[in-house]
Amino acid sequence: MRILLINQAFYPDVVATSQQLADLATLLKSRDHQVTVIAGDHGYEDLHLRFARREVYRGVCIHRVSSTRFGKTSKWRRAVDFFSFYIGLCLKLLWMPGQDVVVGLTSPPLVAVAGNLFCLLKGGRFVYWVMDMNPEEAVAAGWLRENSLVCRLLRGVSRWSYRRSRRIVALDRYMKNKIVVSYGIDERKIAVLSPWAHDEHVHPIPPEDNTFRKEQGLDGKFVVMYSGNHSPCHPLTTLLEAARVMKGDPQTLFYFMGGGSLVREVRDFKERYSLENIVQLGYQPLERLSESLSAADLHAVVMGNPFAGILHPCKIYGILAAGKPFVLIGLRECPIGDLIAESGLGERVDHGDVPGLVAVIKKVKSLSPQERENIQKHSVSLKNERYSQKTLSRRLGELIERV
């Protein structure tokens, strides 16, 4: 089959949607399909990264389109970047031959509109892989007013996209329910398939063998790590306040790694309170993900209360693959809350419960080596059983083939 994949981020970018889509593309190519990707020509977070306009990656043909690079420091900048990519995408689609299946993600919003129109004009069937929901995310984050004209227009085109799509892939049961309730979509049309861990790239590394810990001088240190997108959807206030409370503990460090609009907020908080226990680093290359994730003694997964069913915190699967303890800062009623309840792994605290978070950090610090080893074994076993890249990407590939 001829299969077209559309998303603003793709290999070699390191954001989550890029990695997931690259895994799917190579899986489909290995199953003897003709796979083409349309993506952006610069980094999704690092705007200074530029990629070749045309490239072949593991047999997958990549076409990249240009867009503005204003960044995410304001709503208008983000909107202009998204709109310019969308224009470039539509122009590219005009010259693309018809496809049997088109798979569209949600970076940026409205990709599904372009993909469905392409299928309507040139044939083929559209599969909507919903990584996040908009305009719901924009409303929950305060970027868009609920009853504004723009919001109503976006809901209208989103409803059309959901209804036109042959199949919809939601990341969890909360997202599926929100699509059904918000847009009146038949639930039989929606498959629930979680993101996956990167089997080839993430595995536990003992501290004594971890070059990342050695380079950072972490011998004898306890590392609390937030690794991923710094977004208003993942409010970091509780974690930052815990760092402030524990500033007198020289053995405990708080690592904030990744990109996003809240990177500056973390930096400002660190400077305001002179917190030497906060360390900031950018996204780590995929080939060093095992080292960086294994360098943590405790991972923080942060989910803003209004965003259950709208977003899915993919970082949890890398944490499981690395075999590390984690704490969820967020509501119980979310995918990670379900995972904690079902598996017995992890801890949870509410946003604003700084004493509770500090207590969790101290509890994990006191774990014995045997307890840590048990957590690692349980985590990796759960990843292998439920969140393996090999298993889940194959299931998604088979779903696309059935379409």
Q: Is pLDDT at 158 greater than 70 in this prediction?
A: yes
Q: Report pLDDT for 169.
A: 98
Q: Report pLDDT for 14.
A: 78
The rounded distance, in Å, linking the Cα atoms of 68 and 154 is 22
2-196+388-402: CATH topology: Rossmann fold (3.40.50)
**pLDDT average, residue stretch 253-263:** 90
207-386: CATH topology: Rossmann fold (3.40.50)
Q: Is pLDDT at 72 greater than 70 in this prediction?
A: no
pLDDT confidence band for 69 (50 / 70 / 90): confident
Asked which of 192-196, 284-288, 310-314 is least confident by mean pLDDT, the reply is: 284-288
**Nearest-CA neighbor of 128 among 146, 147, 142, 111?**
111
The rounded distance, in Å, linking the Cα atoms of 19 and 350 is 30
Give the pLDDT confidence of 333-368 residue by residue, as tens digits.
999 999 999 999 999 999 999 999 999 999 999 999
Give me 21's structure tokens: 């889509």
Q: Are 163 and 180 in contact (CB under 8 A)?
A: no
The rounded distance, in Å, linking the Cα atoms of 320 and 328 is 13
Q: Are 305 and 330 in contact (CB under 8 A)?
A: yes
Q: Are 6 and 115 in contact (CB under 8 A)?
A: yes
The rounded distance, in Å, linking the Cα atoms of 187 and 180 is 6
So where are the chain's domains? 2-196+388-402, 207-386
Q: CB burial class (10 A; 0-12, 13-18, 19+) of residue 318?
A: buried
Q: CB burial class (10 A; 0-12, 13-18, 19+) of residue 333?
A: exposed
Q: Is 147 helix (H, G, I), strand (E, B) or coil?
A: coil
Q: Is pLDDT at 143 greater than 90 in this prediction?
A: no
The rounded distance, in Å, linking the Cα atoms of 111 and 83 is 10
Mean confidence (pLDDT) of the chain: 93
The rounded distance, in Å, linking the Cα atoms of 99 and 126 is 10
The radius of gyration computed from the CA coordinates of the chain, to the nearest angstrom, equals 21
**pLDDT average, residue stretch 174-202:** 93
